[in-house]
């Protein structure tokens, strides 16, 4: 079983993408693009530029940092904005995403060619909200696509009953297969990022009753704190997950993307401090995603053997039975093809016995998501 634990489908980002208020969606999208590490260039002559026309550098992870820059999805995976009469470009997705959408049909075609059996559709508000779109993708390709439910994090505290109802509908009626949670969207709406507090308890109780796996995305707002220590921020997030798991020990938890790999690039390797490894929950229900290519593909070329020592450390300290391969397709194809994404992780894990390497490339996900392993 080859299972990509981190894939996307999304509607045309030139529309409202499921939001009732298109301006609210634009804010999410503009902030996500402004804070992303992809380079910027000036459209007239491709001179390297920066994000200052799109958002204040010192404004942090906040809608208040956004500037009125005629920000727009422009086609072919590009976003554009205007500052001082000049147009600027950021290539967030590969140019093959011509109409700024990514359909289930496009994803499954890539899966067929690369030899991927199943993929899990992840969620983030700047690629659209609404569970119906994802549920429809999964219905069109049963056995090939599974999808995560998403409930707007900023509505869980003020609209708890409605949020629980939306969660239950997504799993019990719409047939979605797990839950995505992105804590860094709480401070955007003036809320505490402590998602272990009492206000969240009814929602988490409902999730535990559903027996659905929880996929938690690292909080990039915490990681971007000026003057902060990256290792402390990552370790703090891991400890928060550990506290949550002590309350809900039966819920499988997956930290999406991994250990914020890009923060720990040092010369020609990853140098992840012991403090980060030590903070990883010592719990068989905790799993860590390995998305190296999307974070590091612009730094190291295929097959990225630079991460081999990190793979060996992860296998020793976390265990192959708790590691999960994912890609972030289609965005990752700005660096590697989909086939190369699979070959890269297989190459960097080939020090393991074949049955243990197969856990990482699919069998762990199959077990978590209730599918047969092979």
Q: Helix or strand or coil: residue 40?
A: strand
* Phi, psi torsion values for 273, nearest 5 degrees: -65, 155
Fold of the CATH domain 3-11+101-368: TIM Barrel (3.20.20)
**Terminal C-alpha separation, the chain:** 5
Residue 327 is classified by DSSP as -
Contact 18, 337 (CB under 8 A): no
The pair of three-digit structure tokens given for residue 300, joined into one six-digit string = 């190291």
| Residue 137 structure tokens | 């993708």
What's the full length of the chain, in residues? 374
- Please give the Cα distance from 353 to 12 (Å, whole number): 43
Whether the predicted model's global pTM rises above the 0.95 cut: yes
pLDDT per residue rounded down to tens, the chain (374 residues): 999 999 999 999 999 999 999 999 999 999 999 999 999 999 999 999 999 999 998 899 999 999 999 999 999 999 999 999 999 999 999 999 999 999 999 999 999 999 999 999 999 999 999 999 999 999 999 999 999 999 999 999 999 999 999 999 999 999 999 999 999 999 999 999 999 999 999 999 999 999 999 999 988 666 654 555 789 999 999 999 999 999 999 999 999 999 999 999 999 999 999 999 999 999 999 999 999 999 999 999 999 999 999 999 999 999 999 999 999 999 999 999 999 999 999 999 999 999 999 999 999 999 999 998 88
Tell me how far apart the alpha carbons of residues 160 and 366 are, in angstroms, rounded to a whole number.
Answer: 31
CATH 3.20.20.140-classified regions of the chain: 3-11+101-368
């Amino acid at each position: 079983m080859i299972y990509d634990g981190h894939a996307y489908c999304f509607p045309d980002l030139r529309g409202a993408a499921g939001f009732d208020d298109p301006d609210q969606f634009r804010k999410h999208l503009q902030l996500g693009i402004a804070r992303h590490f992809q380079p910027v260039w000036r459209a007239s002559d491709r001179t390297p530029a920066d994000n200052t026309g799109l958002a204040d550098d010192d404004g942090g992870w906040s809608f208040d940092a956004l500037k009125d820059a005629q920000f727009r999805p422009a086609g072919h995976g590009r976003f554009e904005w205007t500052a001082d009469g000049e147009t600027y470009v950021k290539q967030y997705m590969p140019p093959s995403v011509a109409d700024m959408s990514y359909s289930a049909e496009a994803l499954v075609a890539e899966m067929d060619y690369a030899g991927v059996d199943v993929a899990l559709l992840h969620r983030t508000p700047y690629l659209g909200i609404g569970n119906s779109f994802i549920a429809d993708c999964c219905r069109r390709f049963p056995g090939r696509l599974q999808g995560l439910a998403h409930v707007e994090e900023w509505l869980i505290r003020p609209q708890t009953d409605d949020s629980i109802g939306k969660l239950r509908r997504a799993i019990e009626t719409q047939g979605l297969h797990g839950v995505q949670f992105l804590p860094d969207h709480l401070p955007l709406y003036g809320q505490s990022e402590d998602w272990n507090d009492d206000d969240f308890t009814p929602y988490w109780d409902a999730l535990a009753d559903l027996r659905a796996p929880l996929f938690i995305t690292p909080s990039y707002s915490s990681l971007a704190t000026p003057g902060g220590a990256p290792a402390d921020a990552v370790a703090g997030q891991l400890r928060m997950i550990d506290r949550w798991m002590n309350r809900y020990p039966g819920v499988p938890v997956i930290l999406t993307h991994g250990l914020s790999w890009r923060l720990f690039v040092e010369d020609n390797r990853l140098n992840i401090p012991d403090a980060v490894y030590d903070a990883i929950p010592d719990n068989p229900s905790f799993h860590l995603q390995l998305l190296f290519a999307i974070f590091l593909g612009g730094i190291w070329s295929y097959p990225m053997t630079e991460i081999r020592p990190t793979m060996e450390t992860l296998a020793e300290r976390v265990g192959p039975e708790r590691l999960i391969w994912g890609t972030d397709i289609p965005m990752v194809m700005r660096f590697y093809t989909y086939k190369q994404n699979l070959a890269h992780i297989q190459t960097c894990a080939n020090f393991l016995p074949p049955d243990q390497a197969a856990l990482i490339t699919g069998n762990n996900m199959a077990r978590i998501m209730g599918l047969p392993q092979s």
